[in-house]
Amino acid sequence: MGATCRRGSGPEGQLMAGPDPTRLERRQALFDAIAACNRADAEFILSGILAEMGAGPPLPALRAIEEEAEAWAAFATLPELTAYFFASGARLSARRLGARGRMRLMRRLLGEMTNEERVELLR
């Protein structure tokens, strides 16, 4: 069962090929459907879908706080991760982390950077 959608002013077309489309075909069909929608409608629908796909706000910790944070982060969307990262960073900068806390944070931040990126950052 395929979906149809008007593409601009052209004729209606089959968006999904066959009963079991490949991931690339499904992705292209989604892109085509979004492109064919009114911008406001697309934003409304996509924002709702993305909100449901996200982890939502972190819940109160029922086990070790680090485990809860890792579990939440595993399901969070990039906008959620970014928002909580910057908000947490702003709060952390106002507190005394101590040398050990700062080192732990720096190790985490620098851990996945290439040597060139580290050099550029420290200039």
pLDDT digits 0-9 by tens, 5-61: 433 333 344 444 455 668 888 889 999 999 999 998 988 888 888 777 777 777 676
* Higher per-residue pLDDT: 91 or 21: 91
Give Cα separations from 23 to 8, 20, 27, 39 (angstroms): 24, 9, 6, 25
CA quadruple 60, 92, 84, 109: dihedral sign? negative
Nearest to 69 by CA among 80, 52, 107, 79: 80
pLDDT over 90 for what percent of the chain? 7
| pTM (two decimals) | 0.42
